[in-house]
Amino acid sequence: MATHIDLKPAAPWRELTTSRDDWNAADPALLGTMLTSMVLIRAFEEKVLELAGQGLVHGPAHSAIGQEGGATGSAVMMRASDQVNGSHRAHHQFLAKSLAYVAPDGLSPTAAIGGDVRDLSKKTMAEILGLAQGFCKGRGGSMHLRWGDAGNLGTNAIVGGGVPLAAGAAFAHKRAGTGDAVFTYFGDGATNIGSVLETMNLAAAWKLPLCFFIENNRYAVSTHVEEATAETRLSARGLGFAIPSWKVDGMDPLAVALASAEALEVMRSGGGPTVIEADVYRFFHQNGPLPGSAFGYRSREEEQQWRRRDPIDLLAREMALRQLIGDEEVAALRARAKALMEDVAGELVEQVDGKRRIIPALWPSPDFRDFGVRGDLSEFDGVRTEELETFTGRIEAQARFVDVVADVMHRRMGEDDRIVVMGEDVHRLKGGTNGATRGLKEAFGDRVLGTPISENAFAGLAGGIAMDGRYVPVIEFMYPDFMWVAADQVFNQIGKARHMFGGDMAVPLVLRTKVAMGTGYGSQHSMDPAGIFATAVGWRIVAPSTPFDYVGLMNSALACQDPVLVLEHVDLYNTKGPAPVDDLDYFIPLGKAKVVRPGSAMTILTYLSMVKSTLEEVERLGVDAEVIDLRSLDRAGLDWETIETSIAKTGNVLVVEQGSVGTSYGGFLAAEIQSRCFDALDQPVQRVHGGEASPSISKVLEAAACAGPKDIEAGIRRVMAEQGLALA
């Protein structure tokens, strides 16, 4: 008969409740601050719902009325330098952290409301209404609230999407040794999201000061928590990752405060992440001014039971029992808060012909539409740029490409201790799977981190590091196809962050990945991601084809204040070419293409390994083609001056790429060329690309799927034939 031994979790899991003694021992000033904060937040939320009911909130209004205890109870225990982020339902968390910031000495329930609180309320309401006065200049609305000064990292419309970003901020705090911590707020629905669980694992493995604060309001829109998971005590998630966890009644602000204090003690002492589950209840539907019962997924009786447990009423009663406040003073506080919100709304909304409307002058200008999608590259003012033809330093004629990849990173990390490198196996195997990080772990220790297999988590963590601004993350995706695993973090978060939060924040991040067509790794390891990234918002893309260019372009990528995708190709790794011997400090400007062969019969635009293949075919066929190595591939980085000058001379264009027609970069580029250069073209833009299907494992089928020398030759012949010319 088998023997069974009960196993114990590696971390504690506790339920915390308050007693009469806890209330008696509580600092009256703390209780007064929590009461005032919750009343202000409630009044704000009620005003937002009123405006939404009048059709003045464009988009959703996810109120957190009823959930104020969780936000306020945790925020009052934080330092100003601690940070938070949250999900789409986060007005209360944003305001709780911001109120603690603007009133560091606390909020008295009997004092007049200060101007800083008024300004905060107005600016937050303006943002929710989509106005230029808002924290994100109207771009964020209800779901994307950010105020970096107050420690608000930015709220998020993707369920669970902000959790990896919070881990990045926590990483920065740990590395800086500040003792600061981060709270990431999310709901019951997000506890089943992969990015949340991946981040719990990574935060625990790396001992990050991050609190996973679960607001369990029991409903993800209308789906009940018991329908979504077998373990409805959501703080149990922490046990699987050895994270100390607390379960508290979120309708009891003091219980939340006490649990938060204990969690902060763990995090500040180097104990790593924590989990707090607060049982709360949203009094209204997922969005808008109606209760959930109006939509039939919960009963009025259930709603009334929870309303009788209102956290504001609970705190007011406990304070009154201890003669810290009276009913009249509570009523007066509520009236002051309501009057404040009425006054603030009155400065944003006006009455015209019996109807309320946003004051027109407060809308953002349409000209502001694209501002801040990316930076202006002013960070490159005064830097030294070089090209191989003008370089005066020592050159090694036969430098191996992949060695230069490692050498330039070694140089930059030696000069800039802000750079941290992370990815799967980058710290082992003598430089990762291809040697691109050779020697970095030995030289720079804990600045080179091997990650769990969790692209979504470590990409988002790197995004959070970048937004923090103290460090420059360089991450490696072993294969570009893995971007789909991390698509939310790569495209929804990192790519959109600068623009979404108002256009004035930097996101300095480098993502390295290798195109591996021809290696036999099949459909899920072989894509060229240039076409996907070029049509996404916010990313810059560089594609070096020579060792010399790699040095200058990687230096530019590391100095750029935008996220940069650095594309490499396995076919280039073992090739040899000219590279600097000891001067690794020059830049090749982002947005600067290079004419690698002059000509007049046609313009051939290409990048990465296809530059060499194209040059070989042009020389073999004896055609007078001008070959341009694009080098920068993103929309803002295309060197139209060089491209248009060449097209004006040749009148004919061939775009050459290796990858699939389905995710083609050339389709985007050809459309842009025909729009901009139509009058200069003698024929439609011609293209060389791979097949529709992804490359297969079979050597024969893989070769058929990827464009190669024969396809380049066929493309050149098509262009010449359209001109009535034939090649031998």
Q: Percent of the chain scored above 70 by pLDDT?
A: 100
Instruction: Read off the tokens for 364.
Output: 């953002």
| pTM of the model as a whole | 0.96
Residue whose token pair is 């973090």: 489
- Over range 110-118, report the average pLDDT: 97
- CA neighbor of 372 nearest in space, from 178, 561, 170, 638: 561
Longest dimension (CA), the chain: 101
pLDDT tens digit sequence for 218-230: 998 999 999 999 9
End-to-end Cα spacing for the chain? 83
- What integer pLDDT is reported at residue 726 of this predicted model? 73
pLDDT in tens, 452-477: 999 999 999 999 999 999 999 999 99
pLDDT in tens, 157-175: 999 999 999 999 999 999 9
CB 511 within 8 Å of CB 646: no
- The H or E element spanning position 185 is strand 182-187
115 to each of 119, 340, 486, how far by Cα in Å?
6, 10, 43
Active site residues: 455, 525
Question: What are the distances in angstroms from CA 217 to CA 64, 95, 277, 278, 591?
Answer: 10, 19, 10, 8, 49
Cβ(70)–Cβ(77) below 8 Å: no
Chain segment 630-653, per-residue pLDDT in tens: 999 999 999 999 999 999 999 999
What pLDDT shows up at residue 375? 96
Report the 10 Å Cβ neighbour count for 442: 10
Express the helix, strand and coil content of the chain in percent, nearest 5 each: 45, 15, 40
Q: Which residue has the tokens 């012909």?
A: 353
Q: Per-residue pLDDT for 727 more than 80?
A: no
- pLDDT mean across residues, the chain: 96
pLDDT digits (tens, 9 = 90+) for 23-49: 999 999 999 999 999 999 999 999 999
Mean pLDDT (whole number) for 190-219: 97
Model confidence at 725: pLDDT above 80: no
Give the per-residue pLDDT at 728.
65
